[in-house]
Amino acid sequence: MKQMADDRLVLEVDDLKTYFFTRWGVVKAVDGVSFSLRQKESLGLVGESGCGKSVTALSLLRLVPQPAGRIVGGKIRLLGEELLSKSEREMRKVRGRLISMILQDPMTSLNPVFRIGFQVGEAIQMHQGLRGKSLWDKAKEVLRLVNIPAPEARLRSYPHEMSGGMRQRVVGAIALSCQPAVLIADEPTTSLDVTIQAQYLKLLRDIQRESSMSLIFITHDFGIVAQMCDRVAVMYAGKIVERGSVLEIFDCPTHPYTQALLAAVLPVEGRPKRLFSIEGQPPSLHDLPPGCPFYERCIRRRDRCRENYPAEVEVSPGHSVNCWEAV
């Protein structure tokens, strides 16, 4: 059962633009993304690899790889505070305490030369000021929260001594250790088998229900979206092309790209069918066309789609799309 969202706005993102300046040109990885997140709400960010989901998440934490990457425009308000105007020193107090992120691969986000206890305790020590036995006890409590057995022994382990599912839970424990208002989960189940994945998702739901945390879930899996999220934002070529409630997106997808993504999902019941595939490749982000970036792959394209990017149109309350077909 999903968490019921409150009306209180926790996060507001307005016209966010994150570009990478390379020798081949300016890569518009995130190009005018806007969305909001309420308390206890779960928002799913979906789309193909390279569409800008992870860069959007890194932009929220001001962790865009430098010097090539830069946030060149927009606003990010977290609990009423503008994050883009904060200094790096001020952002260190925000990361982990107010907003945290579970990265995709635990083997690259965990340091192989430090024990788990040090890595779990680092954020707790920084934001809560605990030391010694108090810090150790708090770290054990956090591991217990994510259902890691024998937490005291695990605190003395190195990452390579743990299974993939266990490492994923440790990364989640680090992100949850200071009870952030917003948790970003960037494809946290990619390296997990089906059984462990189901346990991990249930764990995130239970923690969210108990802590009133808001969740941004980045994934390719529409099954996970249906299970975890209240609203969905579909990204393509650095832009959000459709957004709405889970029911609206699944029952009445409007953008041809959203329809194509859903058509590629295998049905739960009935005989297996041949998987649908979207012809072509996403456009190069350093040479985007002036019109709709999905033009070359769209089966309903028109001449005006090539020339101008469509404005956002409200299909129904809370459900909007950027497509000339909806005008």
Q: Where are the domains of the chain?
A: 9-87+220-326
Extract the tokens encoding 38. 């309420």
Give the separation between CA 315 and CA 327, rounded to whole angstroms.
9
Q: Is the pLDDT of residue 6 over 70?
A: no
Partners of residue 101 on adjacent β-strands: 184
The pLDDT > 90 percentage for the chain reads: 64
Give the separation between CA 116 and CA 198, rounded to whole angstroms.
24
Residue type present at position 99: I
CATH superfamily of the 9-87+220-326 domain? P-loop containing nucleotide triphosphate hydrolases (3.40.50.300)
Q: Which of 119, 127, 3, 19 is nearest to 69 (CA)?
A: 19
Give the separation between CA 166 and CA 152, rounded to whole angstroms.
14
To 5 degrees, how large is the angle CA 51–CA 53–CA 59? 120
- Grade residue 290 by pLDDT with cuts at 50, 70 and 90: confident
Whether residue 67 has a cis bond before it, omega within 30° of 0: yes
Give mean pLDDT, residues 188-203.
80
Q: Which helix (H) or strand (E) holds 321?
A: strand 319-322
Q: What is the pLDDT of residue 272?
A: 67
Which of 4-8, 14-18, 158-162, 303-307 shows the lowest mean pLDDT across its residues?
A: 4-8
Average pLDDT, the chain: 90
